[in-house]
């Protein structure tokens, strides 16, 4: 029997036909991914037509594939879906073709740009897991709202107990003593009773919807800086119409156990919130549906292992996923209360004040941030420094501003950041010392900065006049540290004392004493958030309440928000939402912002007093501009406060 149409059959005339832009003057083929059934390549196109894309992704059958063409049929069905089912987290399809008689199958997809496939053995950071679950919810919500357009989706195939039993016997024979005895006991129980488990699940009122069927990190493309989407869901060869919680349950069952125990319930909440008005029930009912569908983790591992070509290199993957599935099923049977991981994380490890080892992957970021806003002194200041993909050695940004003084800034990069968070260059000597971890940080800076009468000149790199800058400030913790559950970031409300000294024309001749509220944070993660827009705030109110929040605007995904509010002597309250609802901004400055907070149905309006944009230049010459300002906050109950806001404009350069 002849093989399937393959990437070796790609030609310029064929590309002219499927891309519909050209003519194609030339092309090159770059390997992208391969499975036992399919081959995926990136094709670089050369054309005089400006509408022709630079690259496309082509998926074809593996030429040696000898099994059923059902996976190709379902892939073709999915990418040929009605236009009403437009999906923001799936690559748009330029051309889809399936002819089983002629053994032809191909998909031509829009290339999202720089990205890499997830890897179950490497795992996901919290941030990437969060984005992945939000992407899944976006797909499920779209199909749920447009159910009338989804009649073409095939029904889920029933679990074949006999076939599953045969696969399980082969799996045990293959891996032998490498399988943990406890996992064997769990798997024995599931395989033996799978008919009863399925019957119970089918009798429930759990909502139905589209099911990806193999939703795990290996079928997720994780975008990098410059990618059109932070997450792209691939591998739709198992699409069906069935119990919607199946995909979420399988994804949770593929995660490392420690991460799932700590963060799994949060991911269930993220999924529920991302469904929005398409959520069919309560959070508790979703948890129950996930529990009822968890057995599919073990089923999918056995079926996928059985379909894969024998390869000792993949043994670690399947054995790991088998163990994680059994651990998931065990943990669901334990008495651990649902929702425990959703409680506010007030514990921060004091050792996290220090720098962290860089994790592999190329997206590592670590930053420290501190600010103060002193209305009595009529001055505000912020400091941010760290390392990242575009500045692996280090970058440093400082802003000092007020209504009566010019904006003074320091922006420098391309130096070695000391492990003790110190900066030393020809123009900067700065130290950041955690005197008492999580309780007291001392910052000293002696540097040459640049004063700008127009803050917009900072963003536009219009030269300012050199001035002397000296800071001697102490940040004392004044509330509970708050640990994000989305990524590795903690926020700490503070009171700040010390002095700021500026030397130059138009600047105060004496040191400025500081005694005012402030904020500091420390972030470290393998997720490069800097190319994603966000709106951030930190406020201290006259009744002693501290509020922090961030509204992250993800391309092609629902926005994400988080934060906290804390009254004196009261427990820290996590914010479910902190959304920007109105703003007066331009590319250089923030004049006003209004945020809506939940719980409590409260709004907070910010009015700027002074501007200090943060301009950061990478070692390659790329530039990011972040408008920042300090000023007055007014709550909907009339109480007033002071603090900082920032708007990350989403530069792809950092």
Question: pLDDT tens digits for 73-90?
Answer: 999 999 999 999 999 999
| Least trusted range by pLDDT, from 71-80, 208-217, 346-355, 627-636 | 346-355
Q: What is the structure's pLDDT at 653?
A: 41
The pLDDT confidence band at residue 342, using thresholds 50, 70 and 90, is very low
Q: Where in the chain are all domains bearing CATH 3.90.1200.10? A: 118-343
Q: Is the pLDDT of residue 440 over 90?
A: yes
Among 217-231, 302-316, 399-413, 475-489, name the most confident range: 399-413
Q: Taking Cα atoms as reference points, which of 459, 431, 466, 427 lies closest to residue 445?
A: 431
Q: How far apart are CA 178 and CA 265, in angstroms?
A: 30
Proportion of the chain above pLDDT 90, given as a percent: 59
350-648 CATH: 2.40.370.10
Q: Is 17 helix (H, G, I), strand (E, B) or coil?
A: helix
The C-alpha atoms of residue 251 and residue 259 are separated, in whole angstroms, by 12
Model confidence at 512: pLDDT above 80: yes
* pLDDT given at position 418: 63
Give the pLDDT band of residue 618 (cuts 50, 70, 90). confident
Mean pLDDT computed over 352-378: 88
State the fold for domain 118-343. Aminoglycoside 3'-phosphotransferase; Chain: A, domain 2 (3.90.1200)
Confidence of residue 654 (pLDDT cuts 50, 70, 90): very low
Sheet holding 577-586, edge to edge: 573-574, 560-566, 546-552, 534-541, 640-648, 628-635, 602-611, 589-598, 577-586
Total count of residues recorded for the chain: 654
Instruction: Tell me the pTM.
Output: 0.75
Q: Where in the chain is the domain with CATH 2.40.370.10?
A: 350-648
Q: 128-181, pLDDT tens digit by residue?
A: 898 899 999 999 999 999 999 999 999 988 888 899 999 999 999 999 999 999
Please provide residue 115's backbone torsions phi and psi, each rounded to the nearest 5 degrees: -165, 165
Mean pLDDT, to the nearest integer, of 6-27?
90
Element holding 313 (H helix, E strand): none
Of 7-21, 41-55, 308-322, the poorest mean pLDDT is in: 308-322
CB 573, CB 550: distance < 8 Å: no
Phi/psi-derived region of residue 19, left when phi > 0, alpha when psi is between -120 and 50, beta in every other case:
alpha
Residue 423, pLDDT > 90, answer no
Max avg pLDDT among 346-350, 479-483, 517-521, 585-589:
517-521
pLDDT at residue 621 greater than cutoff 60? yes
Indicate whether 344 pLDDT > 60: no
Q: How many helices (H) and strands (E) does the chain have?
A: 12, 32
Torsion of CA 250, 253, 259, 262, to 10 degrees: 90
Q: Which residues of 285-313 are buried (b: 16+ CB within 10 A; e: fewer)?
A: bbbbbbbbbbbbbbbbbbbbbeeeeeeee
How distant, in Å, are the alpha carbons of 377, 410, 442 from that of 374?
A: 5, 20, 18
The per-residue pLDDT for range 443-461, each reduced to its tens digit, is 999 999 999 999 999 988 8
Would you say residue 417 has pLDDT above 90?
A: no
Sign of CA dihedral 77, 78, 79, 81: positive
Which CATH homologous superfamily contains domain 1-111? Answer: Phosphorylase Kinase; domain 1 (3.30.200.20)
- Are the CB atoms for 242 and 249 separated by under 8 Å? no
**Statement: residue 416 has pLDDT above 80:** no
Q: Where are the alpha helices (H) located in 466-519, listed in sequence order? A: none
Whether residue 1 is predicted with pLDDT greater than 60 in this model: the reply is: no
Contacting residues for 538 by C-beta, under 8 A, at least 6 apart: 371, 491, 493, 519, 547, 548, 643, 644, 645
Statement: residue 596 has pLDDT above 90: yes
Per-residue confidence (pLDDT) for residue 335, from 0 to 100: 39
């Amino acid at each position: 029997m002849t093989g399937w149409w393959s990437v070796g059959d790609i030609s310029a005339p064929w590309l002219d036909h499927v891309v519909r832009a050209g003519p194609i003057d030339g092309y090159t083929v770059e390997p992208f991914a391969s499975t036992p059934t399919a081959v995926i390549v990136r094709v670089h196109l050369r054309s005089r037509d400006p509408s022709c894309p630079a690259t496309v992704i082509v998926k074809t059958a593996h030429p040696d594939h000898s099994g059923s063409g059902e996976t190709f049929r379902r892939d073709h069905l999915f990418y040929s879906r009605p236009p009403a089912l437009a999906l923001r987290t799936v690559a748009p399809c330029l051309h889809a073709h399936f002819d089983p008689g002629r053994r032809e199958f191909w998909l031509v997809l829009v290339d999202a740009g720089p990205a890499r496939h997830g890897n179950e053995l490497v795992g996901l950071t919290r941030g990437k897991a969060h984005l992945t679950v939000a992407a899944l919810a976006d797909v499920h919500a779209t199909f749920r709202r447009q159910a009338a357009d989804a009649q073409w989706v095939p029904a889920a195939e029933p679990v074949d107990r006999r076939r599953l039993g045969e696969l399980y016997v082969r799996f045990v024979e293959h891996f032998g003593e490498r399988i943990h005895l406890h996992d064997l006991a769990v798997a024995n129980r599931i395989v033996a009773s799978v008919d009863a488990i399925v019957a119970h699940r089918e009798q429930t009122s759990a909502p139905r919807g589209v099911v990806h069927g193999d939703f795990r990190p290996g079928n997720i493309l994780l975008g990098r800086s410059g990618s059109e989407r932070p997450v792209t869901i691939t591998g739709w060869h198992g699409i069906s119409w069935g119990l919607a919680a199946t995909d979420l349950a399988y994804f949770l069952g593929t995660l490392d156990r420690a991460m799932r125990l700590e963060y799994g319930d949060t991911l269930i909440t993220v999924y529920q919130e991302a469904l929005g008005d398409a959520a069919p029930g309560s959070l508790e009912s979703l948890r129950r549906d996930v529990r009822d569908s968890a057995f599919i983790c073990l089923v999918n591992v056995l079926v996928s292992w059985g379909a894969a070509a024998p390869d000792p290199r993949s043994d670690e993957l399947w054995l790991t996923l088998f163990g994680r599935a059994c651990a998931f099923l065990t943990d669901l049977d334990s008495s651990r209360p649902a929702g425990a991981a959703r409680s506010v994380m007030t514990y921060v490890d004091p050792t996290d004040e220090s720098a962290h080892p860089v994790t592999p992957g190329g997206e590592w970021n670590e930053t420290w941030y501190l600010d103060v806003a002193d209305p009595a002194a009529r001055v505000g200041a912020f400091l941010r420094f760290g390392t990242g993909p575009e500045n692996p050695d280090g970058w440093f940004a400082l802003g000092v501003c007020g209504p009566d003084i010019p904006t003074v800034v320091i922006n420098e990069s391309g130096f070695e950041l000391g492990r003790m968070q110190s900066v030393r260059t020809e123009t900067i000597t700065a130290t950041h010392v955690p005197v008492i971890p999580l309780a007291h940080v001392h910052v000293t800076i002696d540097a040459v900065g640049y004063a700008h009468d127009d803050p917009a000149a900072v963003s536009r790199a219009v030269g300012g006049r050199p001035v002397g800058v000296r800071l001697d400030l102490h940040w004392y913790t004044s509330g509970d540290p708050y640990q994000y559950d989305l990524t590795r970031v903690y926020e700490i409300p503070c009171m700040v004392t010390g002095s700021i000294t500026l030397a130059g024309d138009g600047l105060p001749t004496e040191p400025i004493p500081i005694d005012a509220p402030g904020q500091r944070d420390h972030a470290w993660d393998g997720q490069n958030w800097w190319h994603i827009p966000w709106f951030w705030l930190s406020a201290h109110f006259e009744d002693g309440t501290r509020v922090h929040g961030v509204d992250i605007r993800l391309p092609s995904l629902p926005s994400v928000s988080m934060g906290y509010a804390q009254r004196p002597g009261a427990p820290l309250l996590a914010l479910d939402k902190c959304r920007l609802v109105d703003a007066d901004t331009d590319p250089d400055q923030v004049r006003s912002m209004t945020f809506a907070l939940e719980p409590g149905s409260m709004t907070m309006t910010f009015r700027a007093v002074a501007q200090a944009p943060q301009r950061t230049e990478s070692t390659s010459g790329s530039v990011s501009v972040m408008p920042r300002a300090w000023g007055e906050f007014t709550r909907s109950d009339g109480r007033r406060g002071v603090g900082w806001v920032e708007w990350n404009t989403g530069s792809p350069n950092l």
